[in-house]
Structure 1
Amino acid sequence: MHKILVTGASGQIGTELVARLRQIYNIDHVIATDIKADGLNESSGIYEILDVTDGQAMHDIANKYQVDTIIHLAALLSATAEAKPLLAWHLNMGGLLNALEVSKSLNCRLFTPSSIAAFGPTTPKNNTPQDTMQRPTSMYGVSKVSGELLCDYYYHKFGVDTRGLRFPGLISYTAPPGGGTTDYAVEMFYEAIAKGSYTSYIKQGTFMDMMYMPDAIEAIIKLMEADASSLKHRNAFNISAMSIDPEMIATAIRKHIPDFKLGYYSDPVRQAIADSWPDSIDSSASKEEWGFQAAYDLDKMTDDMLSHLASRLVV
């Protein structure tokens, strides 16, 4: 990667990814874009306002800066997408199609994230294989499966170097939650510091895969730097660091905040989405094909999250 365009740069992943890319590849070689300027700071590097559903605008910005890599992050996440399914399809698929067309036109390498939402209730729940049944029941999941197939098509039909990861829930102290089903995990850390208690909309015993954001950022970079000849799956690598439920996070927090209290309430929409996802996934293809290795387990992540949040939040 030499010149990199990032869409959705002020989102949960983009906020940290842009900063890390600028550390590695030079501040002037990373062009941050989003539909609004919130979270984008001109003093820290180049940014452009971009609506990803405007294909011509995306092409013009990519061409202006002569980018060779597009990291396309702009999308509605699972819970928000379920509330606004038509908007989710328009943004998630329309934006991706534009990114693919620009990549084809300008000969760019393209990364776009998929998700464990690409699986569904008929997918094996435990140690979910890399290649398996995918029949999601949420609009977000449908768009992710469609995106995986569309990227495969552009690779085989047009030779576009497309790459992607099926992310689990991502936990970060830098950017607030963005409308995902796994956001409860992020919220729990914030509320542990601010209030000493949290009420979860995900039921006890609901296991989902999670990952700390630094591991996710390094995984994107490592995949994009990998030798193309080593990649067999390309657009949909399973990736995870831990499979956890709300009680496990609470137990880890209590090692630092002994009186932390966890309660529950019912959110049928987000619980139904969570129940349709795997309990744990098999990341062996990522390890074998490009050397993925997570650095953070639950305890190490909890230590780091609480340390950073304690210095940022006013109790």
Structure 2
Amino acid sequence: MKRIFITGALGQIGTELVAKCREIYGNDNVLATDIREPEAGSIVAEGPFEILDVTDADKMEQLIADFKPDTMMHMAALLSATAEQKPLLAWNLNMGGLVNALEAARKYDLQFFTPSSIGAFGPNTPKKNTPQVTIQRPNTMYGVNKVSGELLCDYYFTKFGVDTRSVRFPGLISYIKEPGGGTTDYAVDIYFQAVREGKYTSYIDRGTYMDMMFMDDAIDAIIKLMEADGGKLINRNAYNLSAMSIEPEMVKAAIQEHDPNFTVDYDVDPVRQGIAESWPDSIDTSCARGEWGFDPKYDLTAMTKRMLEGIREKENQKA
């Protein structure tokens, strides 16, 4: 990768991906795009930025023709809980935007990345140590979008030779950007509320295990996969990723190591709880580790320390 075009740059992943890519590849070699302008002071605004609705194929291709990237990272999507509330919007944005992005990658010979998710699995998928290749019959619109996206990326690779690569992200945890409509976002919000209120009300029930990963590890994984030798990639769309399998009481205990007075109670949201229960408890990441060296650095203890420190620093800057 030398010159990178990123959609959905103001999202949870996109914000930090833009910053890391600019750090590695140079500020002017990363064009960030999103449907809205970045806020004043946003790290995304510190380099090239263009407004882009990913359902506008002509605008997308014009920007690519002008910028002349060699790589496209398509991050624009409606997340799981929001997609379930607005399924037709989710289909049109998630699938329409992906088709436009893949077509642009085909026409301009771009290396291509888009994230899939553990949401691509469903209630019939093995829940423990979920294999890389297994049954995928999700019962959410977000999951349907992600399975369709994996297959579509496979198609563009085998039919047109587009160098498509992807991962199935678990819940991603970061203090840079606050939650944005995902089922796993309780594991972000719990840290913000721990710092701000000293307590948290969880919409996910105790004992509900889901795979998670600290955002730094997720960003490093994207870049490592995109820089990997394509000849060694077997399961290119999409690799299982995870750093930990956790449930709310485990996060509570980790926070209490720093704040013994922190408390959690529960007001379970049946929609998001139902989505969570349809996903695996833990997934097998051996293919990602073996084919391109996936190796997350943060466990729950290290992540909790970093999250609390980062949020406290942000809160102090507001004061």
- TM bucket (normalised to shorter chain) is over 0.9
Kept after mapping to 2: 8 A contact 1:210/1:243 = yes
Contact persistence 2:195–2:311 (CA under 8 A): yes
Equivalent-residue separation in structure 2 for 1:230 and 1:206 (angstroms): 35
Whether 1:8 and 2:8 are equivalent positions in the alignment is yes
| Matched position secondary structure for 1:209 | strand
Question: Are positions 1:113 and 2:128 aligned together?
Answer: no
- Look up the match of 1:238: 240
Partner of 1:167: 169
Match of 1:311 in 2: 313
- 2:304 is matched with 302
Match of 1:257 among 256, 259, 264: 259
Residue 223 of structure 1 aligns to a residue in which SS? Answer: helix
Letter in 2 for 1:169: G
In structure 2, what is the Cα distance between the partners aligned to 1:243 and 1:43? Answer: 35
Please report the RMSD computed on the Cα atoms of aligned residues, expressed in angstroms.
1.0
Q: Deviations over 1:8-65 (max 9, x none)?
A: 0011001111000000001000000000013456761100000000011111101101
Distance 1:103 1:17 in 2: 19
Counterpart of 2:142 (choices 140, 150, 168) is 140
CA distance in 2, matches of 1:42, 1:306: 23
Counterpart amino acid of residue 292 in structure 1: F
Corresponding residue SS for 1:279: coil
Match for 2:208: what amino acid? T
In the other structure, the counterpart of 1:29 is 29
Q: Say which SS state the counterpart of residue 199 (structure 1) adopts.
A: strand
The residue aligned with 1:54 is: 56
State the TM-score, normalizing by the size of structure 2.
0.97
Moved more, 280-289 or 37-46: 37-46
CA distance change for structure 1 residues 111 and 275 in 2, over 3 Å: closer, same or farther?
Answer: same
The aligned counterpart of 1:19 is 19
* Ranges of 4+ aligned residues in structure 1 off by more than 6 Å: none
> Distance in 2 between the 1:21 and 1:42 partners?
11
Q: Deviations over 1:166-224 (max 9, x none)?
A: 00000000011110000001000000000000000000000000000000000000000
Could you tell me how far apart the structure 1 residues matched to 2:268 and 2:246 are? Answer: 19
Q: TM-score, normalised by structure 1?
A: 0.99
Q: What are the equivalent positions in structure 2 for 1:254-293 lying under 5 Å apart? A: 254-293=256-295
Contact 1:197 1:262 in 2 (8 A): yes
SS at match of 1:182: helix
1:68 corresponds, among 53, 67, 70, to 70
Taking a change above 3 Å as real, the CA distance of residues 169 and 309 of structure 1, as seen in their structure-2 partners, is: same
Contact 2:120 2:138 in 1 (8 A): yes
Instruction: State the distance in 1 between where 2:17 and 2:187 align.
Output: 20
Distance in 2 of aligned mates of 1:310 and 1:65: 38
2:131 aligned residue (125, 129, 132) = 129
For residues 172 and 313 of structure 2, what CA distance do their matches in structure 1 show?
21
Matched residues in 2 for 1:169 and 1:52: separation? 24
Count of matched residue pairs: 315
Give 3-state SS (helix, strand or coil) of 1:215's partner: helix
Partner residue, 1:151? 153
- Describe the shift of the 1:182–1:96 C-alpha distance in structure 2 as closer, same or farther (beyond 3 A): same
Deviations 1:266-308 (A, max 9, x none): 2110000000000000000000000000000000000000011
Q: Which residue of 2 aligns with 1:207?
A: 209
1:47-84 superposed Cα distances (whole Å, 9 cap, x missing partner): 00000000111111011010110000000000000000
Which segments of 5 or more consecutive residues in structure 2 lack a partner in the other structure? none
Residues 41 and 47 in structure 1, CA contact (< 8 A), matched pair in contact too: no
Match of 1:176 in 2: 178
Percent identical residues: 61
Q: Which ranges in structure 1 are unaligned for 5 or more consecutive residues?
A: none
Q: Distance in 1 between matches of 2:268 and 2:232?
A: 45
Q: In structure 2, what residue type is equivalent to 1:3?
A: R
Quick check: 2:72–2:112 contact (8 Å CA) kept in 1? yes
